[in-house]
Amino acid sequence: MAHKLKVTLVRSTIDRTHKQKETVRGLGLRRINHSVELEDTHAVRGMIRKVQHLIQVEPVQEG
């Protein structure tokens, strides 16, 4: 899988479990509206699924 995903934190991690906070941090997100581009791998997809209620995911157009 050579595609990339743009992941943006849209909701706060305040009052979330420690695992969810660490997952958001593991994705490289630091604050609300912070975005990162990540490789579309199975590991990243699993992390996204864990915190899907806190983030927004978009495919990145390559080219």
CB-based contact 37:6 (threshold 8 Å): yes
Does the pLDDT at position 1 exceed 90? no
Please give the pLDDT value at position 46. 98
Does the pLDDT at position 51 exceed 70? yes
Q: Where are the alpha helices (DSSP H) in the chain?
A: 18-26, 42-50
Distance of CA 9 to the CA centre of its chain: 7
Please give the pLDDT value at position 2. 52
Average pLDDT, stretch 50-58?
98
**Structure confidence by residue, pLDDT tens digits, 6-26:** 999 999 999 999 999 999 999
- Could you tell me the domains of the chain? 4-59 (3.30.1390.20)
26 backbone dihedrals φ, ψ, rounded to 5°:
-65, -30
